[in-house]
Structure 1
Amino acid sequence: MKYVTKADGSLQPFDRGKVRRTLRNMGLGAEDADRIAAEIEEAVPDGVKTAAVFRMIRTRASAVRPAVAHRTNLRRALALIRPKPDFEEFVRVLLREHGYQVETGCVLAGRCGEHEVDAIAQKDGVTTFVEVKHHRSYHRMTGLDEGRIARAIVEDLQEGFRSGRCTVAIDNALIVCNTKLSEHAKRYATCRGIGHIGWDYPEEQNLKAMIQETQSYPVTIVAGVNPSIATRLATGGFLTAKQVAYGDATAISRAAGIPLREVLLIAGRARAILEP
């Protein structure tokens, strides 16, 4: 059995299935994904770094599907987004794509104090206050503190509603972050009934899966869209690759203050990423 070296220096078994899923997410067909995953497993040395494996994946996938060359790693693309207000708004857009009714952040009065929340989301009769956390380093863990704070806010808002100070009946909290969660954070959230959406948690409804399911990729998924361009696009109201790919290029150029030729270049690359 071969092992790969993760960014934190730990070892884990080489997972051909994970390589295959990455290739499929890049838009490759099942046959090509199976073949390339097997070739990579055969070619890599024992103890290879995960970054080297991803470079091999990208190189071999690009030979089959040239659009892969226009695509940035999704975790990196999320890290490139400006935390406030852009990542917060991106999360609101993503939740709407998944059937939530979402209100922009506001200040709610609890029994003991006021709380600025990033969003209020409603689905299936449940009203949730949403707390968004963004880390520039996507290797950083989201820890216990966010859950403990969210628990305290829920209690204060619920008491505030019962006392008549809060006009919104909050049922629970949801923390959305662009990184993995610590095991302590997962245990506490489960015990306290706090929702968490992290990079790969929970298994079915995590951030990566939610983005891929609806193709709600941030515009930074497009190679060449640096943080400065992403900020201009977000200020103009264009946070996702879909919005730029299928929007009015002239209107986007005016709203974001970006030359039309650059918008057309980004839009073309975005379409190549999104379309099979």
Structure 2
Amino acid sequence: MKYVTKANGSRQPFDRGKVQRTLQKMGVGMGDAERIAREIEEAVPDGVKTSAILQMVRARARIVRPAVAYRTNLRRALALLRSKPEFEEFVRVLLREHGYQVEAGCVLAGLCGEHEVDGIAQKDGTTVFVEVKHHVSPHRMTGLDEGRIARAIVEDLQEGFRAGRCPVSIDGALLVCNTKLTDHAKRYSNCRGIGHIGWDHPEEQNLRSMIEETQSYPVTIVAGASQSSIARLAAAGFVMAKQVAYGDASAIAHVSGVPQKDVLLVAGRARAILEQ
């Protein structure tokens, strides 16, 4: 049995199925994905780094799906967004894609203090405040502190509502982060009834699955275009690849200050990713 070395230095058995699923998410057909995954397993040495496997996956995938060359790894693409305001806006748009009514961030008064929240979301008769946590390193874990702080804010806002200070009746909190959660963070959130969406948590509706289900990829997923152009598009509010892919290039160029030819390049590559 071969082992792979993860970014944190830990080792785990090589998982051919995981490689195959990654290839299929890139748009590679099942037959080719099975063949490529098998070939990679046979070719890599024991202890190979997962980053090296991903490079091999992308190289092989580009042969059968050229559009893969236009796509950055999703975890890295999320990390490339600035925490404020781009990732916060990205999360608000993503939640709307999944049926939430979302208002922009504001300051809510609790019984004992004021709290700046990144959004207020409503769905199925429940109202929660949204707190967004973004890490530049996609491998950094999100820990317990965010959940503990959210719990305290929920209590203060609920008491503030009963005292007539908070205009919104808050039922709970929804934390959204771009990285994995520590086991302690998961246990605390589950115990306290705090919604917590991380890269792969919860299993049924995590950040990755929510993005892929609705093709709500960040604009930073587009590779091969000017990074300054991508950053300016995101800063102008075009945080989703499909906003650029199917938007009015002239209007986008005017709002963002990005030359129209560069907007068209990003749009074309975004469409190739979305339609692969």
- With normalisation by structure 2, the TM-score equals 0.98
Counterpart check, 1:41 vs 2:41: yes
Q: CA distance change for structure 1 residues 262 and 226 in 2, over 3 Å: closer, same or farther?
A: closer
SS of aligned partner of 1:78:
helix
Q: CA distance change for structure 1 residues 226 and 176 in 2, over 3 Å: closer, same or farther?
A: farther
Q: 8 Å contact 1:80–1:226 — kept in the other structure?
A: no
- Alpha-carbon separation, structure 2, partners of 1:116 and 1:128: 13
User: Which residue of 2 is the match for residue 209 of structure 1?
Assistant: 209
User: Which residue of 1 is the match for residue 16 of structure 2?
Assistant: 16
Please, which runs of 5 or more residues in structure 2 have no aligned partner? none
Amino acid corresponding to residue 177 of structure 1 in structure 2? C
- What are the Cα deviations for residues 176-203 of structure 1, in whole angstroms up to 9, with x where unaligned? 0001111111111111111110011111
User: Which residue of 1 is the match for residue 140 of structure 2?
Assistant: 140
User: Which residue of 1 is the match for residue 162 of structure 2?
Assistant: 162
- Alpha-carbon separation, structure 1, partners of 2:82 and 2:63: 32
Give the RMSD, CA atoms, in angstroms. 1.0
Q: 8 Å contact 2:200–2:206 — kept in the other structure?
A: yes
Compute the displacement of 1:225 (Å). 4.7
Q: CA distance change for structure 1 residues 73 and 238 in 2, over 3 Å: closer, same or farther?
A: same
Compute the displacement of 1:109 (Å). 0.8
Compute the displacement of 1:261 (Å). 1.0
Compute the displacement of 1:53 (Å). 0.3
Amino acid corresponding to residue 18 of structure 2 in structure 1? K
Q: What fraction of aligned residue pairs are identical, expressed as a percent?
A: 77
Deviates more, 1:236-245 or 1:60-69: 236-245
Compute the displacement of 1:226 (Å). 5.7
- What are the Cα deviations for residues 82-140 of structure 1, in whole angstroms up to 9, with x where unaligned? 10011000000000000000000111110101111000000000101110000101111
- Alpha-carbon separation, structure 2, partners of 1:235 and 1:145: 28
Q: 8 Å contact 2:85–2:235 — kept in the other structure?
A: no
| Structure-to-structure mapping, 1:115-194, within 5 angstroms | 115-194=115-194
Compute the displacement of 1:38 (Å). 1.3
- Alpha-carbon separation, structure 1, partners of 2:201 and 2:22: 17
Counterpart check, 1:270 vs 2:270: yes
- Alpha-carbon separation, structure 2, partners of 1:229 and 1:87: 17
SS of aligned partner of 2:196:
strand
Compute the displacement of 1:71 (Å). 0.5
- With normalisation by structure 1, the TM-score equals 0.98
Q: 8 Å contact 1:19–1:37 — kept in the other structure?
A: yes
Q: 8 Å contact 2:86–2:237 — kept in the other structure?
A: no
Q: 8 Å contact 2:225–2:265 — kept in the other structure?
A: no
- Alpha-carbon separation, structure 1, partners of 2:269 and 2:234: 18
SS of aligned partner of 2:164:
coil
Compute the displacement of 1:273 (Å). 0.6
Count of aligned residue pairs for this structure pair = 276
Counterpart check, 1:101 vs 2:101: yes
- Alpha-carbon separation, structure 2, partners of 1:3 and 1:140: 22
Q: 8 Å contact 1:120–1:130 — kept in the other structure?
A: yes
| Structure-to-structure mapping, 1:243-258, within 5 angstroms | 243-258=243-258
- Alpha-carbon separation, structure 2, partners of 1:82 and 1:168: 29
Runs ≥4 residues deviating over 3 A: 224-228
Compute the displacement of 1:227 (Å). 5.3
